[in-house]
Structure 1
Amino acid sequence: MSPIATNELSALLLENIHPDATTLLSSAGCKVETYEGALSADELADRISGVHLLGIRSTTQLTEAVLDKASDLVAVGAFCIGTNQIDLPAATKRGIAVFNAPFSNTRSVVELAIAEIIALTRRLTDKSRDMHAGIWDKSAAGSHEIRGRRLGIVGYGNIGSQLSVLAETLGMSVSFFDIADKLALGNATRCASLEELLESVDVVTLHVDGRPGNRGIFGDAEFARMRPGSLFLNLSRGFVVDHAALRQRIESGHLAGAAIDVFPREPKRRGEAFESELRGLPNVILTPHVAGSTEEAQQDIGRFVASKLRHYAVDGTTSLSVNLPELALPERAGTHRLAHVHVNTPGVLATINGVLAEHGVNIEGQFLGTRGEVGYVITDIGAPAESDVVRTLQDMPETIRLRHLS
């Protein structure tokens, strides 16, 4: 294995990722190809050969079948919050690092949630529709302030907790439910169960992650528990909500309105037809998965994730990787680097050092991290490793992936 130079790396960025990502990777010498839409699994499998760095957003599905075709793939960047579109165990067992942007678009999502709560509470969607139809209906009926109303947040992570703070500044009282033990911010009240939250608030908003256990967690039974005339928002994952049940509750008048940004089935490209049971309903806001899609957020995400990909490809740094042990490494000064992903079993580090000592290789710096069943060793050496050293390390039964960085 010869050392990999940055100008030999190839990157494929899908789903209209911000141009700053291309600029950042290109400035490091990487060859970058961009594509506006998502690719199907078959399309991606056909194009991924020779790709070292892959950038996707939420629509492209990176399955094990696709990864089987990705023999050159070194790292994947999810230019979004979630990584449920990536088969993480399959990536990990191939030594492919995965990065995401867990914080970069938090403010954008929160601002949209606040805007939608106000719009639904004032029934602005119906007022706007009537005005476009030439109907002047100057009435306060069904229009309310959000001050004093009760907001229930399901999922109190980065987004839910920031929403909690901003909602309180607008005069709302906040309750939240999370399966993890989370510290309440401000005057927010933690609910012991989802049922307790649903029965006590005027607005329910979902901010849960994409773990498989969240699939279908919100259906007719949950809508039935909500207070009559309350509002419902989902800006998290499309597969967590039963949209047919939501439609029935809107049509029956049990719910006064809803705002939905994510859907079980979403078009892969801009301009494709969109179908949903929720189309055409009164006081329902539908948006095309844009909660985090402000120019500011997309620029921050583009820079953040591309930077993680570049540093991993060039230096082996795994800071904030979602699947490999985290190692924040100093910049190399005239050294060569061996990046060794391996099965986390006792004695691997000793074996590596034994191989290097046997071949007279001087170690100038070394870093080890472990994460569950995976270990990651970075070894800085003064000269390029000879082929027999690399071959011996690759042939270790514990080796998942070895990279020789120049």
Structure 2
Amino acid sequence: MGKVLTLDTLNRALLLENIHPDATARLTKAGYEVRTMPRALGEDDLIAALHGVSLVGIRSQTHVTQRVLAAAPELLAVGAFCIGTNQVDLAAAARRGVAVFNAPFSNTRSVVELAIAEIISMARRLPEKNANMHAGVWDKSSRGAHEVRGRKLGIVGYGNIGTQLSVIAESLGMSVYFYDIADKLAIGNARRCSSLEDLLESVETVTLHVDGRAGNHGFFGEAEFARMRPRSLFLNLSRGFVVDHVALRRHIESGHIAGAAVDVFPAEPKGNGEEFVSELRGLSNVILTPHIGGSTEEAQQDIGDFVSTKLIDFAESGATSMSVNMPNAALPAVPGTHRLSHLHQNVPGVLATINRVLAEHGVNVEGQLLRTRDELGYVLTDIGTTYSEDVLDELRAMGVTIRLRTIESG
């Protein structure tokens, strides 16, 4: 792991991709000079924009790569104002002491409501009825239209979104089946399937709610669509790269899949107004939405508040609670002290060495907390405000040190 020396914290923040104004307001109130941009940035543009920036907020289209992190030594933390963090090189960020935060719960309800709306819309053939009406065609018929009550819903991925969807679907009278690679407890009357194949052969509607791990690339393709029951419905509101859209189009055109709703795509425009390209365009029984599962005012406001607060807490107190790439630690502040935030390689004896250095320089410890996570260790130490630069130099010089910061606690 490379060593990152202490740098003065710069009160500058960059927010990309139309993050909710509440995030800007909260950061501004905390003393940050905030720059906002409505779109995602490519690697080179992001490197240029991060000069002098300590906090950056992104959504799903901006990628914080190892190269970006290496070119941004002032950067303290990345806020992913969304659920997923696969657009950030988490390991590279951790090696540089850059904490990454996301919003794993804030938009759950919004995604669930969209899924329910699309299931009902497809079951009632609303896209087709709507298109006919706009074309001047009056087609008052019940042919092919169904209630969702009594139908079997298969949820692939039984996390925060999958479980809440399960509850609401049951309240509508649906029978819920689910599959997850982890051992998840069924909620209500939901039935766990032992395999994906078992689920696909049992239900009439399949909805994907899997995470962005690399192993999910191409997770759902030709074989999975072929296993689905004839005239089933399909939804993907999770990650664009998990589904083979060519295979999906083929099964829709053949009539094997009766309808689909897709909110996420392998390649998405970086900003509004750019052309959207997809194999699924032009299919009347496919609902396409521009990655808006979590895009409600309520969800975006909650996300803006939640993630910006995490960024501020880390910058001002070193708190890493709910960080996705660093040991989670939060130590109550002791007024009138300075805090040492020490990220290091997780090897035995580091805490003893830190305290020996402090003791040799006559520095008293007012409060201290150590947390570890895999190969990382993280120590928060509150000390008096009188100490020499030699103390910091010795802590920086420790062979296991990754990043050392000093923070005034108040």
- Structure-2-length-normalised TM-score: 0.97
Aligned to 1:47: 49
Which residue identity does 1:374 align to in structure 2? L
Q: Aligned pair in 2 of structure 1 residues 2, 230: CA closer, same or farther (>3 Å)?
A: closer
Following the alignment from structure 2 to structure 1, what is the Cα–Cα distance between the partners of residues 32 and 64?
22
* Contact 1:99–1:320, Cα closer than 8 Å, also in 2: yes
CA RMSD in angstroms comes to 1.1
Give a deviation string over 1:306-365, Cα, whole Å, max 9, x none.
000000000011110111111122133111100000000000001111111111111111
Give a deviation string over 1:387-406, Cα, whole Å, max 9, x none.
11111111111000000112
Matches within 5 A, 1:293-372: 293-372=295-374
Instruction: Select the residue among 214, 235, 241 that pairs with 1:212.
Output: 214
Which residue identity does 2:228 align to in structure 1? M
Aligned to 2:385: 383
Instruction: Select the residue among 132, 135, 138 that pairs with 1:133.
Output: 135
Give 5+ residue unaligned stretches, structure 2: none
Following the alignment from structure 1 to structure 2, what is the Cα–Cα distance between the partners of residues 4 and 73?
11
Instruction: Select the residue among 185, 192, 208 that pairs with 2:194.
Output: 192
* Contact 2:6–2:405, Cα closer than 8 Å, also in 1: no
Following the alignment from structure 2 to structure 1, what is the Cα–Cα distance between the partners of residues 7 and 385?
11
Q: Aligned pair in 2 of structure 1 residues 4, 279: CA closer, same or farther (>3 Å)?
A: same
Q: CA deviation at 1:175?
A: 0.2
* Contact 1:3–1:384, Cα closer than 8 Å, also in 2: no
Following the alignment from structure 1 to structure 2, what is the Cα–Cα distance between the partners of residues 384 and 268?
49
Q: CA deviation at 1:384?
A: 4.9
- Structure-1-length-normalised TM-score: 0.98
Following the alignment from structure 1 to structure 2, what is the Cα–Cα distance between the partners of residues 263 and 222?
18
Extract structure 1 runs of 4+ deviating beyond 6 A. none
* Contact 2:237–2:293, Cα closer than 8 Å, also in 1: yes
Aligned to 1:71: 73
Aligned to 2:249: 247
Q: CA deviation at 1:171?
A: 0.3
Which secondary structure does the structure 2 equivalent of 1:365 belong to?
Answer: strand
* Contact 1:340–1:401, Cα closer than 8 Å, also in 2: yes
Which residue identity does 2:226 align to in structure 1? A
Which residue identity does 1:316 align to in structure 2? G
Aligned to 1:80: 82
Following the alignment from structure 1 to structure 2, what is the Cα–Cα distance between the partners of residues 332 and 308?
19
Aligned to 2:97: 95
Following the alignment from structure 1 to structure 2, what is the Cα–Cα distance between the partners of residues 287 and 2?
45
Which secondary structure does the structure 2 equivalent of 1:403 belong to?
Answer: strand
Q: Does 1:13 align with 2:9?
A: no
Q: Aligned pair in 2 of structure 1 residues 216, 2: CA closer, same or farther (>3 Å)?
A: closer
Which secondary structure does the structure 1 equivalent of 2:27 belong to?
Answer: helix
* Contact 2:334–2:367, Cα closer than 8 Å, also in 1: no
* Contact 1:120–1:231, Cα closer than 8 Å, also in 2: yes
Instruction: Select the residue among 162, 169, 184 that pairs with 1:160.
Output: 162
Q: CA deviation at 1:17?
A: 0.4
Which residue identity does 1:231 align to in structure 2? L
* Contact 2:6–2:404, Cα closer than 8 Å, also in 1: no
Aligned to 1:224: 226
Give a deviation string over 1:87-121, Cα, whole Å, max 9, x none.
00100111110100000000000000000000000
Following the alignment from structure 1 to structure 2, what is the Cα–Cα distance between the partners of residues 360 and 268?
54
Following the alignment from structure 2 to structure 1, what is the Cα–Cα distance between the partners of residues 196 and 347?
41
* Contact 2:7–2:74, Cα closer than 8 Å, also in 1: no
Q: CA deviation at 1:130?
A: 0.5
Aligned to 2:174: 172
Give 5+ residue unaligned stretches, structure 1: none
* Contact 2:334–2:366, Cα closer than 8 Å, also in 1: no
Following the alignment from structure 1 to structure 2, what is the Cα–Cα distance between the partners of residues 213 and 42?
28
Q: CA deviation at 1:386?
A: 2.2
Q: Aligned pair in 2 of structure 1 residues 13, 238: CA closer, same or farther (>3 Å)?
A: same
Q: CA deviation at 1:382?
A: 1.3
* Contact 1:104–1:300, Cα closer than 8 Å, also in 2: yes
Following the alignment from structure 1 to structure 2, what is the Cα–Cα distance between the partners of residues 68 and 2?
15
Which secondary structure does the structure 2 equivalent of 1:376 belong to?
Answer: strand
Following the alignment from structure 1 to structure 2, what is the Cα–Cα distance between the partners of residues 10 and 363?
31
Q: Aligned pair in 2 of structure 1 residues 104, 318: CA closer, same or farther (>3 Å)?
A: same
Which secondary structure does the structure 2 equivalent of 1:318 belong to?
Answer: coil
* Contact 1:3–1:404, Cα closer than 8 Å, also in 2: no
Which residue identity does 2:145 align to in structure 1? S
Aligned to 2:40: 38
Q: Number of aligned pairs? A: 404
Q: Does 1:24 align with 2:26?
A: yes
Following the alignment from structure 2 to structure 1, what is the Cα–Cα distance between the partners of residues 333 and 146?
57
* Contact 1:231–1:257, Cα closer than 8 Å, also in 2: yes
Following the alignment from structure 2 to structure 1, what is the Cα–Cα distance between the partners of residues 191 and 284?
31
Query: % of aligned pairs identical?
Result: 68
* Contact 2:57–2:79, Cα closer than 8 Å, also in 1: yes
Aligned to 2:375: 373
* Contact 1:3–1:405, Cα closer than 8 Å, also in 2: no
Which secondary structure does the structure 2 equivalent of 1:249 belong to?
Answer: helix
